[in-house]
A and B are shown apart, each in its own frame.
Chain A
Amino acid sequence: DVKVTQSSRYLVKRTGEKVFLECVQDMDHENMFWYRQDPGLGLRLIYFSYDVKMKEKGDIPEGYSVSREKKERFSLILESASTNQTSMYLCASSETDRVNEQFFGPGTRLTVL
């Protein structure tokens, strides 16, 4: 059974704090993605990675960075959290194949006070 896990389901941080969101997949997928989900806006891609140590900006990378030191782990970093980063964060992974199905973690609901 394929699995994508995220380090926390709920997280509360203060403005200005550095925040780490961790994602781990056990399917040996090459591709990993970080999205944020906001009501009425759907999912917006923050960053993605095709391989270890490789990263590319998505549609809304400002205020975020990522790290992929190992194939199974993709971290999202908020260098200095702000209240407008309060959101649901979803991690996904996919194999490089014809269908390109993405497998999602359960999400981390981050609140920045």
Chain B
Amino acid sequence: GEDVEQSLFLSVREGDSSVINCTYTDSSSTYLYWYKQEPGAGLQLLTYIFSNMDMKQDQRLTVLLNKKDKHLSLRIADTQTGDSAIYFCAESRVSGTYKYIFGTGTRLKVLA
């Protein structure tokens, strides 16, 4: 199938690390993305990783890619209340259509 799967909810305490997981299905995906959706807003790109990379770090964000298991994760260090949002992973297929396949989204709640 073409599903990109995520757990629906995650709750963490302020200052802790958050890890949001995603499994995808297409081993030929070129780019994998993490988007953030704040309440009442559209999605905004947080970070992305090219499929020939294993890891990418960008300030508090760390993306890990396990191609063998088709598993992508986003780690947010020192999670803040402003990180409360829905996080979507997405894959872009090699077919050249520039389409995304989005995951179901993980709602992150940060407790003060």
Contacts and interface: CB of A to CB of B under 8 A. Distances in A.
Interface stretch (A14-22, A78-86, A97-105): A97-105
Interface in A56-109: 56, 58, 90, 92, 94, 96, 99-102, 104-107
B8 interface: yes
17 contacts: A31-B98, A40-B8, A40-B104, A41-B104, A42-B4, A42-B103, A42-B104, A43-B43, A43-B102, A44-B102, A45-B99, A94-B98, A102-B43, A102-B100, A104-B44, A105-B42, A106-B42
B48 A101 contact: yes
Closest 10 pairs between A and B when the two form their complex, measured CB to CB: A104-B42, A42-B104, A43-B102, A104-B43, A42-B102, A101-B45, A106-B42, A42-B105, A105-B42, A100-B98
Contact of B43 (A45, A56, A90): A90
A4 interface: yes
Interface residues of A, number: 25
Interface of A: 4, 31, 35, 40-45, 48, 50, 56, 58, 90, 92, 94, 96, 99-102, 104-107
A90 B105 CA distance: 15
Contacts of B33: 101
A43 B48 CA distance: 18
Interface residues on B, range: 20 to 34
Contacts of B41: 106-107
A96 B98 contact: yes
Contacts of B8: 40
Contact of A90 (B31, B42, B97): B42
